[in-house]
Every structure is written in C-alpha cells, then in structure tokens.
Chain A
Amino acid sequence: MKASRFFKGLYVSLVLLFLYLPILTLIVYSFNASKSRAKWDGFTFDWYLALFQNEEILKALYVTLAVAALAALIATVIGTLGAIGLFAMRRGPRTLFLSMANLSMLTPDIVIGVSLMILFLFAKLPLGFWTMLLAHVSFNVPYVLFSVLPKLKQMNAHAYEAALDLGATPWQALVKILLPEILPGVVSGLILSFTLSLDDFVISFFTTSEVQNLSILIYSMARLGINPTINALSTLLFVAVMALLLLVNRRSSILER
C-alpha cells in the first residue's frame, strides 16, 4: 500500500513538473545576464529595467487592462439585463434568444475573430481600440448571461412583482430586490469576463490593427525568437496570477468557514 502511494505521488509530481518546468525555466532565465540560452552569465535585473522602459509593452499593458475592464463592465450590464429579460419570457422566445448565446460560445475563436473583422471592415469602422472593445464585449456577454441565469432560477419568481405592488418603481425593484439576489452570479460573470478578456489573443488579433494588447505584442515578439524581456514580463504576470489566485482562494476559504 505504501509503495502504491509513493507511486501515485511520484506520478502526480511528474505531471506537475511537466506543467511547471517551462514556466520555471522562463523565470530563471529572466534573471540571466546573458542573452543566450546556453550559458548563465550571472544574476541581473536588467531585463526588468528594460521592461519598464519599453513604452510599447507599457502601452500594451494599458490597452489590455482598459479593454478588459471596460468590456467586463459593459458585458456584465448587458448580460445581466439580458438574463433578467429572458427569464421573464415564455419558453419559445427564450429558447430562441438563448440559442444566440449558445451559438456565440460554440463558434471557434478564430471564426468569431474573422467574422467580426469582416463586419467592422464592412461597416467601414477603422480597426483599433474600439473595435477590439466591441469584440470583447460580444464574446463576454454569453458568459455573464449563463452565470446570472441560474441565480434567477433559484430566487422567488414573484419577489419583483411584489415589490412593484408595494409601490416600488421598476428601477427600485430592480436595484433593491432583484440585484441583491443575483449578485453572486453577476460578480462571477464580471470576473470571468475580465479574465477572458485579459487572456484573449485570437479574437483581438483579428479585430485590431496597430493598437496591441499584451497577447498580440507577445505573439509578434515571440515570432522573432527568444527575447529576455518577454521572460521578465512572463515572470511578473505569473507572480500576479499566483497572488490573485491565492487571494481568491483564501477569501473563499474564509467565507466557507
């Protein structure tokens, strides 16, 4: 029994090693003074300095965060209202409108990307920040919709009408009665949208031209080969993701208690 436990531990460790070795190598090399991979020339922070002096990278970081934040907010409003509206509908129209969200989620990213590119160029919209934002909102909306809908199913269907009967305006009933009930779904939709936007490459790639987000910048840099500045950038992003996950994890484990 002990041997089998050792074997299981070993196996899981090996798989984890496979998952982390590349990331760890990147981190180590981000401190390597030599630009070449083959040798270690001593410890340096030069690549980090270069990173913070590289305006292209800083601009891409700004674009990434701005698009992700705006897209998440807009998608959350549209998706939440959409979920509330769809929930009140009869089965027929609801299925019809839900299938639009399903279609969007089933469409491969590359097809969403090229089809939106056709649309924007067809409508004579210049590709850039705003078209990227429109595209991000579009692929985020279904995710918000599907995280809010289950919460609506859980709540009392008549609470909203009761509020109206008791003299609340529709706006008051929405904000004071409906929203608190579905808030967890709204928040998880918001977070999901934000992370999907941060990570997106394919759809952004087709819906912008000169304005680059981090993914596009990394892609264009990586196509030219190894660049130690990307290693530094990866290390910082990795640390940021770790910190965020630990934070979320700790918060949720505190809440569970």
Chain B
Amino acid sequence: MKTKGFAAPYVVWMLLFTIAPILLVLCYAFTDSSGQFTLQNFQSFLDPIYIGVLFRSIGMALLCTLICLLVGYPAAYFLANRSFDKKGVLILLFIIPMWMNFLLRTYAWLTLLESGGLIATLVNWVLRLFGAKEEVRLLYSYQAVLMGMVYNYLPFMVLPLYTVLSKMDARIVEAAEDLGANRLQVFLRVTLPLSLPGVFSGVTMVFMPAVTTFVISRLLGGAQFKLFGDLIEQQFLFTGDWNFGSAMSLVMMALLLISMGLMNRFGDKEGGGVF
C-alpha cells in the first residue's frame, strides 16, 4: 500500500509530545540545577523518608489490590454463573461507577467519612454501644485512603474477571464434575487456573493506578499523609526542584515497568488483554 506517508503526523506528534518530554525528564534526572551530570538526585531519594513513602505506596497498592481481588472475584464469579436473569443490567451497574468522574467518587467518601457523615456516625454509634467514650475520627487516616482506593478501583478488578469467567467453556466444568471432582476441586483445579488471565489483568488495572495516585491520598488522607505520587507532585508544583522530581518520576516508571514485567512472566501473555 502507498499509504505509509499518512503516519507522518502521528510520528511527529509522538516524537514531540511523548518522546521529547520523557527525554527531558531523563535529562533533568541526571543533571543538577546548573546542568552538570550528577547522580545526586537518585542518592537523595535513598533518604529513609522517601524510601519509607515509596514502600508505603507499594504496600498500600498491594493491599488495595488484594482486597479488590478478594471482594471482586466472588462477585464476578456469581455474576458469570448463569443463575441471574438480568446479568446484563447487573454488569452495567458495575460499569457505571467507572464512568463517574473519579474525583467525584473520591469526594463522595469525604462526605461519608467526615465527622457527622453517614458512616462516621454509624461507626461511632456502634463503638459507643461497646463503651467507647471518645469519637473516632475516620477521615484523614490510613484506612480512609485505603477505602478510597478500593472504592475507586474495584470495578476495574470485577470487569476483566467477569469477562474471562463468562467466556469460559461451561462444558469443561461439567466434565470435571462428571469425572468426580467436588465443587471445591472444580474451582481450585479448573475454574481458578482458567481465570488467571483475568486475575492478572485485573491486578494490573488496580495496582498501576493505585501505586501512582496522589489525589486519593490528598483528599482522604489530608496534607500529612503522603504517597509516592504526592512526592512527585510536590517537587514540581511547590518545591520546584525539577531535577529531583524527574529522578522520582523515573523511579516510578521503573517500578511500573518492573511490575508489568513480573505480571507478564507469571501471567498468560495472550490473555492479559489490558493493552
């Protein structure tokens, strides 16, 4: 075909607005404020404060992914089982929150967890039954941020799981049952292994945004609670140290590429289907 030239605007655009910015980040990360080559930016990152934030981000993202998986898998499994009549409507109900602006989804939790909010009132009422004297503050805590993450990303776990589970050949499960496997065995040795591509793609879709977020931590965790994303935002918008900020951006990219690589190694390359 003689249409190769059509790609010119695309190539130019990507070079200008994808490749060039990343090259600039690379340049800034390996130079100091006067433009000299240095590794100082990466050495500064080794400070226990920053490493602590990095590990907290990874830990929270992992925990959030685990909770999403534990909550989302049964939901997707039940939905994919043919026992519901209005499956289409139900799965649509899982998709709708994904379409909501994610700031609004996070803001919604602000109203629930705030002192006087529905959940805060309920929790404190229950605690008072058990003899608690002081009011517990729910907002601006580790738990609030974790809650916000799980709430935001749960649909991203349910959807790929549902897709894989509902496409699974029901005859395989029947065959296993005919051959004498009990329900637990069928699940552990047939359904679960076959649904692993969905698990991997769900885990990727939850972990990636969770480890890079700075909005959820800022809105639900308050100014004191920092995640990796907050550090980068702060360097660029408040401290103005682009060199250090660029180095941290590179660390974040490396972290994501490594975890993607791990996922691909463990996961089925065909079935992931996120990208």
- List A residues at the B interface (Cβ < 8 Å): 5, 8-9, 11-12, 15-16, 18-23, 25-26, 29, 36-38, 77-79, 81-82, 84-89, 97, 100-112, 114-119, 122, 134-135, 137-138, 141, 145-146, 157, 160-161, 164, 170, 174, 178, 195, 198-199, 201-202, 206, 214-215, 218-219, 222-223, 225-226, 230-231, 233-234, 237-238, 241-242, 244-245, 249
Contacts and interface: CB of A to CB of B under 8 A. Distances in A.
B11 to A, nearest CB: 6
A107 B17 contact: no
A29 B252 contact: no
Contact of B108 (A89, A199, A234): A234
Nearest to B26: A115
A100 B7 contact: no
B6 interface: yes
A115 B22 contact: yes
Main secondary structure of the interface of B (DSSP, over half): helix
A137 B18 CA distance: 11
B226 interface: no
Nearest to B74: A11
Interface-central residue, A78, A104, A134, by most chain B CB under 10 Å: A78
B166 to A, nearest CB: 14
Interface residues on B, range: 35 or more
Interface of B: 1-11, 13-15, 17-22, 24-25, 28, 71-72, 74-75, 78-79, 81, 83-84, 90, 92-97, 99-112, 114, 116-118, 121, 151, 154-155, 158, 208-209, 212, 214-215, 218-219, 229, 232-233, 236-237, 242, 245-246, 249, 252-253, 256-257, 260, 275
A118 B249 CA distance: 12
A38 B252 CA distance: 41
